[in-house]
Structure 1
Amino acid sequence: MEITLSNTLPPYPTFVEGIRRAPDRGFTLSPVQTATALKNALRYLPKELHETLAPEFMEELRT
């Protein structure tokens, strides 16, 4: 069975105030660990989307 992902992204959702979210745990990764985490997150996605998604994934790591 082969699963393929689309090369297009849906519109970026807007942040909705007032919704409970997980608390910030702080950012404790080293630069090497951060690079590894981003590479691992992007490796299953089409390369055309990496430039768009890398900043979003980095923001997720930081929060």
Structure 2
Amino acid sequence: MPEDLELLDPARAVAAKKGTSVRVVAIPFPGASRALAGDALLPGPAIERRGPTFTDWLQSD
């Protein structure tokens, strides 16, 4: 089942899997933490989540 993730972690995982030397860093967006607080970008409880986790998907590639 897909999971809730911070964007930084999957971006770093993809870079590591590809073996790139790119540095993935967080960029603060003033006011974004308030706008995205809680579960603003997540599906509601009525949505059925399906598919592999991000880690499973990345390892299958």
Classify the TM-score, shorter chain. Answer: under 0.3
Q: TM-score, normalised by structure 2?
A: 0.26
The structure with more helix, counted as a fraction of residues = 1
Relative contact order higher in (CA < 8 Å, ≥ 6 apart): 2
